[in-house]
Amino acid sequence: MSELNLILLGPPGAGKGTQAERLRDDFGIPHISTGDILRGQVAEGTELGRQAKRYMDAGELVPDDVIIDMITERIAEGDARDGFLLDGFPRNRQQAEALNEALGSLDRRLTSVLLIDVPDDDVVRRLAGRRVCVKNPSHIYHVDFDPPKHEGVCDQDGARLIQRDDDKEDTIRRRLEVYHSQTEPLIGYYDDAGLLRRFDGRRSPDEVHAHIRATVATLRLEETL
């Protein structure tokens, strides 16, 4: 079976997490989130985890070389033998080039980069409209797409609904600025390498999933020919 080594790209709020979970189930490859890796290594007290914790405790970003070493270890594990789906990394060209070197050291290469494209105004509308239950944060609503029966009140337990700080418009706009300045240049980088596939993130999650799944299935078939 050919490998499926994939990267998910897209702005915050594009639905990458939702699609990653579905693709993981579709193709039996692990969804590798850099945040999850960091938390896991720190919790386990590994050498890399201890290195990362020193930076995190000091309020500094964990250096790229530490993150790359963590990712290299992770994709060398048995469950990633047939492929992986990277989410949240790389965030810039320097990280992308470091990832290519790490994959080369394992005699592996990327299959494709999946871009879920959503305009800024749609991202803001999606995220700024979210409301979360103060009693149970897993109870999530949207003022336009999935409103509660009574405004500001959770349907399931009657608790108050709030807008999280990171869902406020000014915060979202700042996150988008960072995405455009640092991560968006990767679109051209991977397009030039012939790896980029674009998907319209304005469509429903089911439609986006169907389009990505069909594309990835075709890529896997082409790899076997």
Instruction: Choose among 199, 217, 225: nearest CA to 10.
Output: 199
Question: First-to-last CA distance in the chain?
Answer: 11
| The residue type at 10 | G
For residue 76 the two structure tokens come to 């060398």
What gap in Å lies between CA 177 and CA 142, rounded to an integer? 24
Look up tokens 């938390």; give the residue. 39
**Any idea which residues carry the catalytic annotation?**
16, 91, 130, 164, 175
